[in-house]
């Protein structure tokens, strides 16, 4: 039986062009405002590690997409 990757869309419909694909966050280490890219295809709830573009410290990035496509992005220090 074939798996259909589109099954994600049942929980998280995309395609109306209003989904956030970037967010500006404040680095918990150097306090700089940094714009990061988001991947809506990763799902409505995401958590991953990304290095600060300014000071190269590792962040824990948590992304939570709302039904209207707005992404709530939280960045915390990885070692906190």
Output the smallest distance, CB 45 to Zn ion, in A: 24
> With binding defined as CB under 5 A, does residue 29 bind Zn ion?
yes
> With binding defined as CB under 5 A, does residue 63 bind Zn ion?
no
Distance CA 17, CA 30 (A): 33
Query: In angstroms, how far is the first alpha carbon of the chain from the final one?
Result: 44
- Going by C-alpha positions, the residue among 62, 59, 14, 22 that lies closest to residue 39 is 22
Output the smallest distance, CB 55 to Zn ion, in A: 3
Output the smallest distance, CB 62 to Zn ion, in A: 17
From the centroid of its chain, how far is CA 73? 6
> With binding defined as CB under 5 A, does residue 27 bind Zn ion?
yes
> With binding defined as CB under 5 A, does residue 77 bind Zn ion?
no
């Amino acid at each position: 039986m074939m798996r259909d990757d589109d099954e994600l869309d049942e929980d998280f419909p995309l395609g109306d062009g209003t989904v956030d694909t970037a967010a500006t966050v404040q680095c918990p280490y150097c306090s700089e405002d940094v714009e990061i890219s988001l991947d809506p295809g990763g799902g409505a709830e995401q958590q991953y590690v990304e290095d600060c573009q300014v000071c190269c410290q590792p962040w824990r990035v948590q992304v939570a997409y709302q039904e209207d496509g707005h992404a709530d992005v939280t960045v915390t220090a990885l070692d906190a």
